[in-house]
């Protein structure tokens, strides 16, 4: 289990803009890193738009936001534009980063079990350490808890 104070695993993924993005690129800033299952779906849109709607508050407190899902960069770019998201979305098609962050695991829908992204968010401090770890969280609670963690 990931612990508060522990160093967040570094990663390198491709963004919705087709650019290579590393966690270490954000050193010196606080970061809200959220994992969601799929672009253009109800819960994921609620979570991403909640982050969007509070983005100025995050920025005012020295934080930025990044979203991660298995979607390809082209799909992420379309979704980002459709929802007017002011932050980048990263593609993790092989769920390598989701695995590192314990945001990949068994899920169940309509009685069927399958593997997928577990909705989660992490607050990472300017030095790259976990300030908050929220795994298996609803979209609404993710927004509220991330905001409380950043704003205080």
44 is catalytic: yes
Mean pLDDT value of segment 16-39: 96
Band the pLDDT of 130: cuts 50, 70, 90: very high
Q: Give the mean pLDDT of 14-33.
A: 96
Instruction: Indicate whether 87 pLDDT > 90.
Output: yes
- Looking at the chain, the whole-number percentage of residues with pLDDT higher than 90 is 91
Kindly give the pairing relationship between strand 63-69 and strand 88-91: parallel
Range from 57-61, 68-72, 90-94, 112-116 carrying the lowest mean pLDDT = 112-116
CA–CA gap between residue 74 and residue 88 (Å, rounded): 12
**In terms of pTM, does the model score above 0.85?**
yes
**Which one, of 113, 38, 35, lies nearest residue 75 by Cα?**
38
Q: How confident is the model over 23-51, as a mean pLDDT?
A: 95
pLDDT band at 28 (very low <50, low <70, confident <90, very high): very high
Which domains are present in the chain? 29-151 (3.40.30.10)
pLDDT at 152: 80
Q: Which long-range contacts (CB under 8 A, 24 or more apart) does 25-29 make?
A: 26/64, 26/66, 26/124, 27/126, 27/127, 27/128, 28/126, 29/62, 29/63, 29/64, 29/126
* Active-site position among 44, 65, 118, 150: 44
* The pLDDT of residue 114: 87
């Amino acid at each position: 289990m990931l612990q508060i104070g522990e160093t967040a695993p570094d990663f390198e993924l491709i963004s919705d803009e087709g650019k290579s993005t590393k966690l270490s690129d954000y050193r010196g800033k606080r970061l809200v890193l959220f994992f969601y299952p799929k672009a253009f779906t109800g819960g994921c849109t609620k979570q991403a738009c909640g982050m969007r709607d509070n983005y100025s508050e995050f920025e005012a407190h020295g934080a930025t936001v990044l979203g991660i899902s298995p979607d390809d960069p082209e799909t992420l770019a379309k979704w980002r534009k459709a929802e007017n998201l002011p932050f980048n979305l990263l593609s993790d098609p092989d769920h390598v980063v989701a695995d590192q962050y314990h945001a990949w695991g068994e899920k169940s829908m309509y009685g069927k079990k399958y593997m997928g992204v577990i909705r989660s968010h992490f607050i990472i401090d300017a030095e790259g350490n976990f300030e908050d770890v929220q795994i298996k969280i609803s979209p609404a609670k993710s927004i509220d808890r991330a905001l409380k963690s950043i704003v205080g």
